[in-house]
Structure 1
Amino acid sequence: MSQIRITKKFSFETGHALYGYDGKCKNVHGHSYKLNVTVIGTPISDQNHVKFGMVIDFTDLKKIVKEEIVDVFDHATVFNKNTPHVDLAKELKDRGHTVLLVDYQPTSEMMVIDFAEKIKQRLPENISLHSLKLQETESSFAQWFASDNE
């Protein structure tokens, strides 16, 4: 049977600052991110299976991405853990804000790599992550493709 790609779209609001950057993005600011998650697999051919004809139930894909990405990053502020903003991060946390300290510069490029690893670990064995598109603004986005990372 044919391999089929399916895509689910997500959105979340996240703040960040780029440590050491030489432009405006060194300042704390935020984006309305849009994330397209595309997986590939063979539709279930067993007519008696409750998910007959599906590669993966969109509800199951939504659960994975929500738990790993959206629920974690939505309305959070993300800093590189080596940033001098660590004092600000601690103060924000102490005031009840959600702050994530990550091992990377929180650019769209590095976030999409992080997201790919998290999603791949949760997919069923017969489903592969094909690609991610993380849109930071209306005209700017980063893409991750499995074929580029084999």
Structure 2
Amino acid sequence: MMSTQTINIATVYASLEHVMDPEIPVLSVVDLGMITGVELEETGVHIKMIPTFAACPAVGYIQQQIKTTLESELGVAVSVEVDKQVHWQSNRMTPAAKEKLKNFGIAPPKVLTGEISTEIMMEVPCPHCGSEQTYLRSPFGSTLCRAIHFCKACGQVFEQFKPLE
């Protein structure tokens, strides 16, 4: 069991890498950019996090997973709070997260440099074959954060993680 004196921010982030998104189990909360703050306190660790979408039904589950994982791995009390001051943007995802998404069969969001345009939702390369001959079948996928596309080249239906600013 560690004490809060032997824990540092890097140790906490290493442990957070083990907390996976329940809908996309190849991505951690760190990969997704969901962690907005880590505070080391005398009584334990305080984590601030944000959901990828405001109405995400997995928020409570993710909070519990963070608490359970960190308490188990670090041996200290952990509190987890939803940060209401920060809003998640798809640009918070790490480049490694976008590569993991692609390898998982979900098209990653493009980097946003301005407002979301129709093109950014329509021009999505296929994560299976790389073709740009795709079209948007539905802006609504299996979860709030995904859209459904079809690839004319390989015939695959695939999801895209929606860009969000």
Structure 1 length-normalised TM:
0.28
RCO greater where, 1 or 2, for CA within 8 Å and sep 6 or more? 1
When normalised by structure 2's length, the TM-score is 0.26
Q: Which structure has the highest strand share of the two?
A: 1
